[in-house]
Chain A
């Protein structure tokens, strides 16, 4: 009974995670410039993959595997923002311009002052 309950929850988490992954990919395709695309990839992507790993932890019923899935999730949470930050910084410093929709650009004015 309890196993069935956890299996339903795990299946739902799996569907939710893959839908988040799909939305991140759609965002990657539809958003106008590098920086906004990075929002989609770093947030929705991490969330989707994290949900899929959580689904493993819920379905497995094995302490070691639960710990490993959680370790993978934590590792993802630690590395994804670092990767996004490094990419955004590299893109900005090499002069990739943000979209025309940008309304405030304080970073640009600061950099040109120096």
Chain B
């Protein structure tokens, strides 16, 4: 089921990228998708359930909003005349509740693109994510906002 669904989605993306929706091109895209999926067959995760679509869309919406906010915040910070007094950078250890590699990767990517934070490293036992923040007012509050915002939403989508 996952294999078929993935190959159809990839075939449609192929048709979109090559900008022609003829039957022959769709079949070619489908064949390439099957070959590509065959290469990564042992890494394919459990099928994504359609009942989670709403949560995935909510995650994407929150993500775009946060990306816009973070870009505006960094942009405003950059044009401050006395930049050094507004900077309070630091490395923070963030305890991970997410377990699988996929969840951690997604969380790290989202953290990098959200206000004032940048993921730097994951500890070897995958329990702690080290985050660089550009201005820390309250460490506990920052950790709580990540844990309650993105991490909870990601776990909801994946579980």
Contacts and interface: CB of A to CB of B under 8 A. Distances in A.
A and B: partners?
A: yes
B118 A68 contact: no
B93 A106 contact: yes
B9 interface: no
B78 A30 contact: yes
B96 to A, nearest CB: 14
Interface residues of A, number: 47
A35 B132 contact: yes
Given A23-B74, A36-B134, A67-B17, 12 more contacts: A23-B75, A24-B75, A26-B78, A36-B89, A44-B71, A64-B16, A71-B13, A78-B109, A88-B121, A92-B120, A101-B87, A110-B128
B contact residues, range = 35 or more
Contact of B87 (A36, A71, A105): A36
14 contacts: A23-B74, A26-B79, A27-B78, A30-B78, A30-B83, A36-B87, A64-B16, A80-B112, A81-B119, A85-B109, A88-B120, A92-B121, A103-B89, A110-B93
B53 to A, nearest CB: 17
Nearest to A105: B91
Interface in A59-89: 64-65, 67-68, 71, 77-78, 80-82, 84-85, 88-89
The majority secondary structure among interface residues of chain B is mixed
Given A26-B79, A44-B78, A68 B17 contact: yes
Interface of B: 13, 16-17, 19-20, 67-68, 70-71, 74-75, 77-79, 83-84, 87-93, 108-110, 112-113, 116, 118-121, 123, 128, 130, 132, 134, 136, 139
B16 A71 contact: yes
A8 to B, nearest CB: 20
Contacts of B71: 20, 43-44, 46-48
Interface of A: 20, 23-24, 26-27, 30-33, 35-36, 38-40, 42-44, 46-48, 64-65, 67-68, 71, 77-78, 80-82, 84-85, 88-89, 92-93, 98-99, 101-108, 110
